[in-house]
Amino acid sequence: MNDLDMDFLLGAEDDDGSSRRRPSGGRAQQRRSRRRRKRQRRKGRVATLFAIVIIVGVLAGLGYLGFTWARGVMIPKDFTGEGTGEVVVEIQEGESATDVAQMLEEQGVVASARAFVNAIGAAGKSSSLQPGQYAMRKGMSAASALALLDPKNRVLNRLTIREGLRLSKIFEELSTASGKPVEDFKKAARSDIGLPAYAKGRLEGYAFPATYEINSKLTPQQILTNMVDRFNQTADKIDLEGQARQVGFSPRQVMIIASIVQAESGSAEDMPKVARVIYNRLLSNPPMKLGMDSTVMYGLNKYGIAASHADLTSTSRYNTYKYAGLPPGPISNPGDHAIEAALHPADGNWLYFVTVDPKRGITKFTDKESEFWKLRDEFNRNYQ
């Protein structure tokens, strides 16, 4: 075999050997590739896990914020405890529980109006809030604030006494406003409360109708004194005693007439004409009995605008169908319009009047008895 052949053979071996060694190097590269892929997969899993952790954390944060927001919406802010300091709040006539709640929040008494409204609903006291002034504290829990708004805790209460109320009814309203018994007011009415001499110690007629501040610390005597003071101020302002002399009657008689005018009139416009009927009857010759149903009902301690036949048999001195002249005293507590009408009656010759339509307050006047009976029939048709 020549050299060329030997070289060929050797070359062939080299080539074969070379071809056999390449697979060994390829496997190492494959192993390295696999390791790289493993490392990349591990890095990918770590990145994914990290991303998941971040997402979970973000979602948890959002969930907490959502829970906090929802809790704030569902559970309103509320203070705890009894609060500190003192603040006087006032509930106005006609205010709703929501109005009061908003006022308490604005004044810092409660943390939120909703908390107070919820407390009222839970206690079932939405209708228990009464007008008046109350001593409260800043920073109170809603439940504590509600407890202090009990009407018994009012420190100041505005009470309007309407014209024409009887004294017995006034005592009831004063008792409710002040929390003091009616009997205490009856007793106080017999004490020194500043009545004018012509009242002869009797309060009926002189508890002047007006709006009063009823402080819980005031005694019944002080409250009634304030009412009589208002009457005395009005009497001085209109010169009651001097004006009474001009109409030929005493101040006491004028007040009795004013009380009847107040009870019998359908409107303030009718008062001077009703007063004229009373004077015409008293001054007629011979004098006529007044024949007023209001006086009869007062003497019987009854209410109504028409006395029955049985009522007219009463032997009370207030039965002006039976007895001539004025009754023994006022039958109500008249306002300034009725007093002015009694001092300045309208001009006219009327002897009769009938409130023919009580619902609309329509009163008709006449000087003829025959016309009076027609008016009575009209009243009976409307009153039934």
Query: Burial level of 172, CB count in 10 A (0-12/13-18/19+)?
Result: middle
CB distance 263 to 294 below 8 Å: yes
Same domain, 294 and 307: yes
CB distance 203 to 193 below 8 Å: yes
- Give strand pairing partners of 213: 158
In a domain, 62, yes or no: no
In a domain, 205, yes or no: yes
In a domain, 44, yes or no: no
What is the rounded distance in angstroms from the CA atom of residue 375 to the CA atom of residue 355?
8
CB distance 336 to 345 below 8 Å: no
Mean pLDDT by 10 residues, the chain (384 residues): 46 46 59 68 64 66 56 76 87 88 93 91 80 86 89 78 97 92 97 97 98 87 97 97 97 98 94 98 94 97 92 97 97 97 97 90 93 92 78
**Residues 6 or more apart in contact with residue 39 via CB below 8 angstroms:** none
C-alpha 144: how far from chain center: 20
pTM for the model stands at 0.65
- Give strand pairing partners of 211: 160
**How many domains does the chain contain in total?**
3
Give the CA dihedral 255, 258, 264, 270, nearest 10 degrees.
Answer: 170
Query: Burial level of 292, CB count in 10 A (0-12/13-18/19+)?
Result: buried
What is the rounded distance in angstroms from the CA atom of residue 348 to the CA atom of residue 198?
29
CATH code at 114? 3.30.1490.480
What is the rounded distance in angstroms from the CA atom of residue 215 to the CA atom of residue 135?
12
Among 187, 180, 174, 179, smallest CA distance to 226 is for: 174
Same domain, 220 and 247: no
CB distance 273 to 280 below 8 Å: no
Same domain, 244 and 379: yes
Both tokens of 185, joined, read 């007011």
Q: What is the DSSP letter of 323?
A: S
pLDDT for position 216: 72
- Give strand pairing partners of 321: none
Same domain, 118 and 190: no
Same domain, 224 and 182: yes
What is the rounded distance in angstroms from the CA atom of residue 362 to the CA atom of residue 267?
8
Both tokens of 320, joined, read 């002006």
pLDDT for position 92: 85
In this structure, what are the phi and psi dihedrals at residue 340, rounded to the nearest 5 degrees? -60, -40
pLDDT for position 320: 97
What is the rounded distance in angstroms from the CA atom of residue 382 to the CA atom of residue 298?
24
pLDDT for position 156: 67
> Which of 238, 259, 289 marks a domain boundary?
238
In a domain, 30, yes or no: no
- Give strand pairing partners of 133: 90, 156
CB distance 279 to 345 below 8 Å: yes
Range of the structural domain that residue 296 is part of:
240-383
